[in-house]
Amino acid sequence: MSEIESITKKGSPSWEAHELVLDGLPDERLNDDLTDEGILNQATLGQLQPVLVRANGKGLEVVDGRQRVKRALVINHLAGRRAYDGELTSVKKAIARLEGTDLGKRVIAEAGKGVKVLVTVFRGEENAAPRAEIAANELRHDDSLARKIKKAKRQAKAGFSPEEIAEDFGVSVASIKRWLSVDADKPKKVRGKASQAPTRAKLSGIAERMLAPDAEDGMSRWALLFGWLAGKQSRADVVGAFPELEKYLGGKK
């Protein structure tokens, strides 16, 4: 019995990341950039969800979970488990960005000797694999920001640091600190029909009128106002053009 055949009879075995085929099925996200936070998250907490694979010839082809495999490739390169010699630009960029940095050293410290990829075998018909790939991506959804904030605050209340929470969510520490500083339950201000706040279109219209030259002397209202500030126009001229400013202009003539 081959190793691949034996895998189909086991639960979720581990597999070397570099042995998995990433480009067997078309996927527009194959070369999406990897985030530093996501790489550190996987190095710290491990791979939390198995990668879905199918037997294809002598290897295992990834149906769903390419980003998890790519992060494992980066981690293993940094940790010295296996130097990456593939062609994926996103993996190369992540390695180049992290090598020799403090964050890269944290990844190495967390990952130790590197990681294997936990896989589970897709058991459907061969022509159903592309559908499984699409369904896995489309049905997976993120929590809303409000829910993430509540979870982050719950973590903070339990004693976890912003750095630890950032690792859990796969975002920056700065993002977590912003989340912890806001009230997720506070309703957002919504502009109502009776709102007196000017709209962008209204402000744009006002600006156009202010910049338009006067029919008589060709001077725009802005030029008139700046002329008064420079001592070249009278207070009366400004008040005539800006009656709403009269109470703010003081006694300057």
Q: Tens digit of pLDDT for each residue in 166-200?
A: 877 778 888 889 999 987 566 555 555 555 555 65
Same domain, 163 and 230: no
Predicted pLDDT of residue 221? 65
Same domain, 159 and 43: no
Residue 161 forms part of a structural domain = yes
Residue 192 forms part of a structural domain = no
Predicted pLDDT of residue 135? 54
Predicted pLDDT of residue 115? 93
Query: CA distances (Å), 123 to each of 7, 88, 101, 132, in order?
Result: 11, 28, 42, 11
Range of the domain at 228: 200-248
Q: Three-state SS for 3? A: helix
Separation between Cα atoms, residue 175 and residue 169, nearest integer Å: 10
221: number of Cβ within 10 Å:
16
Residue 80 in tokens? 């010295």
Helix locations, 46-199, DSSP H: 66-79, 89-98, 102-111, 129-139, 145-157, 162-169, 173-181
List the beta bridge partners of residue 84: none
Same domain, 122 and 244: no
Same domain, 152 and 131: no
pTM over 0.85: no
Predicted pLDDT of residue 1? 47
Same domain, 18 and 122: yes
Beta pairing class for 51-56 and 14-15: unpaired
* Residue 223 DSSP one-character state: H
Separation between Cα atoms, residue 14 and residue 36, nearest integer Å: 24
Asked if residue 104 lies in contact with residue 124, where contact means CB atoms within 8 angstroms, the answer is: no
Residue 81 forms part of a structural domain = yes
Predicted pLDDT of residue 199? 60
Asked if residue 166 lies in contact with residue 172, where contact means CB atoms within 8 angstroms, the answer is: yes
Predicted pLDDT of residue 139? 47
Same domain, 92 and 110: yes
Q: Which residues of the chain have pLDDT under 50?
A: 1, 139
Residue finishing a domain among 86, 118, 139? 139
Question: Terminus-to-terminus CA distance in the chain, angstroms?
Answer: 99
Same domain, 23 and 134: yes
Residue finishing a domain among 154, 181, 208? 181
Same domain, 94 and 119: yes
Number of separate domains in the chain? 3
Same domain, 111 and 15: yes
